[in-house]
Structure 1
Amino acid sequence: MSTNITWHEASLNKELRRKQFGHHSFVLWFTGLSGSGKSTVANAAAKALFDQGLNPYVLDGDNIRHGLNKDLGFSEEDRTENIRRIGEVSKLFVDSGQIVITAFISPFIKDRELVRELLEADEFIEVYIKCPVDECEKRDPKGLYEKARKGLIRDFTGIDSPYEEPVNPEIVVETNKYSIEESVEQILQHLKSKGYIKE
């Protein structure tokens, strides 16, 4: 790590940006198994927020691995680095006054807590997209569970790699019980109750 660097204060801070945008900036951190509905609900929530005149942006796990994190694999170390990078990017979005919605399995509690610690207390909202593994496997939209069962994919979360459920998430969305619309409404109601978005 270089020591010949200096932090430069910006002329615009997030409070000024929030005032101009007219809303709080924060991270909705979606976590859950593959096939639980993270990306689907994340994009539906982004559309609902956008339709209200807000500024959301979705960072999707698969999409990020096509660019920023294309050099990472799926070992525990690489997964940790994957989440660390996304945490830093999310912090930049929050600083820019925007709402960032992340959709990553992010299987390890310690990694999610590391991201939480990067942000202020009211800037990180953990959204547990809860769905039983057998239901995720039935859906298997990408055919990944089938490949994992056949041994074609190793270190697959929920099969031969663990998923550590959130201990105390701000929101729990059970996608095996509720529709996409109902799931999004649950998230919006939480944001309204906290005053992050307007009624």
Structure 2
Amino acid sequence: MSTFVVFDLEFTTWPEALEQDWSAPGQYREIVQIGALRLRHDFSVVEEYEALVHPVMNPHLSPYFTELTGIDQESVDRDGLPPAEALGDFLSFCQGQSVLSYGNDMVVLGENIAWARARGEHIKSSFLTAGFLNVRPWLNTVAPETATSNVGRLWQVFGLPEPTAGREHSALFDCHSFAVALKHLHATGASLPEAFL
């Protein structure tokens, strides 16, 4: 049965970093958490992927990041995978799939792969057979009320039941919010372009 993947990343951030596009000295968008769902075309979940990642260039999380995501330093120090390992595991999860994000998370993914390679680290499955697509422009066009919403709030915008336990800005929760929004749009007649699936 054909499947596709939705994914979300949480990455290092500081106050005003978004507005300044992470341009302040020493600010890099290092991945700290990866969440992904493999979905059937009826939007039912086949498999989940979730990993904490230990950042290298900024190994100490900012209080702003921890407050935003709920991810604390102790958890990352204890459970965080080395970046190359987490990236390779995630890319293996995506092999042969269409991979959808709500935003340009694939750019952040590419930055992190480049940094790991520059450190001389090997990343398995980095020869991609997956197709990464940012579906936010399409989604915001078919549902203009989503234009100012982040991925973790999509379920609220559509008045849907909370998709799972967790919280906004947790990568896996945000993936579930994304998936129920896609399912809702499909059920109400929005056509997902074939290239997405």
Q: TM-score, normalised by structure 2?
A: 0.33
Q: Which has the higher contact order (CA 8 A, sep 6+)?
A: 1
- Normalized per residue, the structure richer in strand is 2
